[in-house]
Amino acid sequence: MELSTFVDRLRNGDAAKFPHDADSLAFAQRLDSQDSLSHLRDEFILPTKSSLKKRALDGSVPGSATANHNGVNGSNGVNGTNGTIGHKAKSDDADQGIYFVGNSLGAQPKAVRKYLDAQLETWASIGVNGHFTTLENSPLTQWQDLAEDCAIKSTDIVGASASEIVIMNTLTANLHMMMASFYKPTEKRHKIILEWKPFPSDHYAIESQILMHGLDPEKSMVKIQPNEDSLIPTEKILATIDEHAEETALILLPGIQYYTGQLFDMPTITRHAQTKGIVVGWDLAHAAGNVELKLHDWGVDFACWCTYKYINGGPGSIAGVFVHEKHGKVEFDSETGKPVYRPRLMGWYGGDKSVRFNMDNNFLPTPGAGGYQVSNPSAIDLASLSGALSVFGKTTMHDLRSKALVLTAYAEYLLDQIQADSADETPLFHIITPRDPAQRGTQLSVLLKDGLLEDVSQALEENGVLCDKRKPGVIRVAPVPLYSRFEDVWRFMQVLRGALGL
């Protein structure tokens, strides 16, 4: 069966219907041979079994010509984790790791080293002039335009115009900055609707914003509780909005819930909340670079995301913000001539480039999201992100999502096969991520039977598998389409079978 057939079925909301031989290495490799995105894997450096044991720097990276499987000089240079299928030595096959933790930290794009080297050479060669000079043969633009360049490269990822995107700060800092502008509580409207178990930093940010307005979080935080299956149906969110509409100033939800992997119906929720006069913000930490987004078309007021997960910008890398064009307008008072714009926290890098270096105290914001900047962003961080975004320029979110749908469905199918082969009366695990492909990204959260987490985690580690665990008993399995193969999914399941005693 063709890979494209599975894509079409899943895109249409139908079941994948894998054949009887799907639980085989040959079937997984057959899908890989049909994968039009398989070349993107070679854009990344993935940890190997041997590199995961490294305890000291030795100048090598996995697959480099300067390291063998013991981490010392002498390798033949074949990349054992992401070389071309069919051209790897058996020893390299044996050393392959499996990187299913891109939902926590994306793998390193090879382009990042090139882009960082270019930034460092520029800094060393022309110093401060790097702010205003673009060197020939460089993949980077001048430093003061780097954030704008990254915004341009992010348009397909979040579905917005470049002027609605600004690259700055980190995720929680940006949530604070957006709430400083968009959360305007009154005596009547003061509530913020959120989910029951947001990522802790989101909870802290929301709670502290409420406290800083002199309000009581117990009265101003509305937490949507899940059903018994740990999921929050769209209908429950809409009902909560209706119940608290007259008292709610803001709704701030994750595009994808980090623990269960549930993808929320962002356009429906946004539209419904706004009809009630509620400002809508989204935390897209687990959605950006994972699923298709159309923030402008959906009319979202603001959104924030990190870039170190599915976008692969590096640990703690600089984050992104979307501000709808209706909130980024800069107009001028007909009488005073002064600029009129949405109030926000201000800083010199939010000032328009035409006056930014005048060094006066007359703030003229850059039109669009760029006017919400505060500080000069790190050129090193931007160089790293620019390198990561260059990989996205070789594909589209539509194509990545298409492959992800099949990768995740295949993982789900194999997990069901493991469950079916178990003789235990008590299920060894439950998949708590929605079964409907339209309600999830490329992550399956697997809730293990009590007492299995540590043994499973140890087995994964011993077999060179990087996979996120969340106590008390969840492993989050994330086969990222940029660099994951169907063969990786199949091999992962063999390790899991062994860990479960099957």
Give the residue ranges of the annotated binding site for pyridoxal 5'-phosphate. 171-172, 199-202, 283, 286, 308, 348, 376
Contact in structure between 167 and 377 (CB atoms under 8 Å): yes
Residue 401 to residue 403: CA distance in whole angstroms: 5
HSE-CB for 258 with a 13 A CA cutoff = 26
- Helices 200-212 and 171-182: angle between axes, nearest 10 degrees: 30
The gap from C-alpha 28 to its chain's centroid, in whole angstroms, comes to: 26
Residue of 292, 320, 308 lying closest to 156 (CA atoms): 292
Residue 97 to residue 104: CA distance in whole angstroms: 17
Give the CA diameter of the chain.
80
Residue type, 286: H
Residue 149 to residue 145: CA distance in whole angstroms: 6
Residue 285 to residue 282: CA distance in whole angstroms: 9
Residue numbers belonging to the annotated binding site: 171-172, 199-202, 283, 286, 308, 348, 376
Q: What tokens were used for 75?
A: 């390798």
Residue 28 to residue 236: CA distance in whole angstroms: 38
Residue 17 to residue 14: CA distance in whole angstroms: 9
Contact in structure between 171 and 285 (CB atoms under 8 Å): yes
DSSP strand E in 262-391: where?
Answer: 279-283, 302-305, 320-323, 331-332, 339-340
The gap from C-alpha 150 to its chain's centroid, in whole angstroms, comes to: 16
